[in-house]
Amino acid sequence: MRSHLREIGQGPRTGRDLTGEEARDAMSLVISGGATAAQAGAFLLLQRYKGESPDELLGFAEAVRADARLIRPKVTGLLDIGSPYDGRRRSIVVSPASAIVAGAAGVPVVMHGEKDMGPKHGVPIGDVLEALGMDVDAEPEDVQRSIEETGVGYMHSARFVPRVYALRGLREEVALRTVFATIEKIYNLAGADYSMIGLAHLPYAEKMMATAAKMGFKRILILQGIEGNEDAPTSRPCRAFVWEEEGRRKKEDGGLREIRIDAAEFGLQAATKEEMAGGDAARNAAIAERIFAGEQGAYRDLVLLNAGIRIWLAERAGGIGEGIESARAVVDSGAANRKLLELRVFNTQRRAAG
């Protein structure tokens, strides 16, 4: 590790990026305990200030994946939701409800995260799912079964990447967002075909996409959503980037294209600043339950937009507008509410059996 620190820590003139192989080795040392706490902290901070190269990001992700507990659900077209693990503090959390609607529309969805992660320590999607009655601490084999049987699953990072989870104290001491925050959103532990990733800083999109494109996905959407997460707002247009694997892309795109998502184009009601205000997991879960029970208005339209994006991304609709209509039908028919009840029953049965 001292060698790796010397290479990246010489300053802007003489320091250099690590090769992919060096990056894998360095990250393996960090997560295995082969580096001291001081070395690991120095490495994470140096990488943050230097800025990770795409080769480094790929090497880091490969090292974490090699140490992870992977699953391979027997479903077609699994969608992975790359939500920031440190959650949201200022805004509501739309992603869990949108994922359940997408699941009810036939899109298998896997979410993942952790509780009380820094530096934001906001409300993560797992806390909202837990408040909705879903199991958020299942073993990998049970998560796989949930995806196969209900179309929706949640991976608790402590179960899937326990040695990375063991570093949360170090990450808290560093006090800044580190490369783990990027890896967690793209490492594809369930072998998904599609990926939706939230992004706070647009200049980071290209290198993140270059790495995510090598994680086994067929199609990826990186979106600058609400509070830097994967939820598109209804109150303003947002920028997003789509990547498709070779053989599926249009020649003029070169595999990567930018799109603009504007809820007004689909006749959706814009949520006010007051409606977008954050709250605890119970409040977010209650909003989802009211939508599934038939409540109209801005919250419903937020969920319809984001479920529609997921349905379109997973190629169950020809466009976002068509995806929104599929989501609307699922909510109006009661299928979304039935999907939530199905997830609760699965949770109850699993706990009874285990």
pLDDT of residue 14: 83
Which has the minimum average pLDDT: 142-156, 233-247, 259-273? 233-247
pLDDT digits (tens, 9 = 90+) for 214-246: 999 999 999 989 988 999 999 999 999 999 987
Is 313 within 8 Å of 222 (Cβ atoms)?
Answer: no
Output DSSP code: residue 260: E
Stretch 39-64: mean pLDDT, rounded?
A: 95
What is the C-alpha to C-alpha distance for residues 80 and 221, in angstroms, rounded to an integer? 10
Q: 340 phi and psi, to 5 degrees?
A: -60, -45
Whether 252 has a pLDDT exceeding 70, the answer reads: no
What is the C-alpha to C-alpha distance for residues 35 and 264, in angstroms, rounded to an integer? 51
Going along the chain from its start, the domains and CATH numbers come out as: 2-66 (1.20.970.10), 79-338 (3.40.1030.10)
What is the C-alpha to C-alpha distance for residues 60 and 183, in angstroms, rounded to an integer? 7
Is 121 within 8 Å of 142 (Cβ atoms)?
Answer: no
Grouping H, G, I as helix, E, B as strand and the rest as coil, residue 152 is strand
Question: What is the pTM (predicted TM-score) of this model?
Answer: 0.95
pLDDT digits (tens, 9 = 90+) for 115-142: 999 999 999 999 999 999 999 999 999 9
What is the C-alpha to C-alpha distance for residues 103 and 153, in angstroms, rounded to an integer? 10
Percentage above 90 pLDDT, the chain: 87
Find residue 109's DSSP bridge partners: 79, 152
Q: How many other CB atoms are found less than 10 A from the CB of residue 328?
A: 17
Whether 247 has a pLDDT exceeding 80, the answer reads: no
Q: 341 phi and psi, to 5 degrees?
A: -65, -40
pLDDT digits (tens, 9 = 90+) for 294-307: 999 999 999 999 99
pLDDT digits (tens, 9 = 90+) for 173-222: 999 999 999 999 999 999 999 999 998 887 788 889 999 999 999 999 99
Nearest-CA neighbor of 16 among 63, 59, 55?
A: 55
Tokens (6 digits) for 82: 């790359």
pLDDT of residue 351: 75
pLDDT of residue 75: 98
What is the C-alpha to C-alpha distance for residues 52 and 179, in angstroms, rounded to an integer? 8
Angle CA(181)–CA(124)–CA(93) in degrees, nearest 5?
Answer: 120
pLDDT category, 254, cuts 50, 70, 90? low
Report the chain's mean pLDDT, rounded to a whole number: 94
Is 192 within 8 Å of 80 (Cβ atoms)?
Answer: yes
DSSP letters of 95-154?
HHHHHHHHHHTT--EEEEE-SS-TTT--B-HHHHHHHTT---S--HHHHHHHHHHHSEEE
pLDDT category, 15, cuts 50, 70, 90? confident
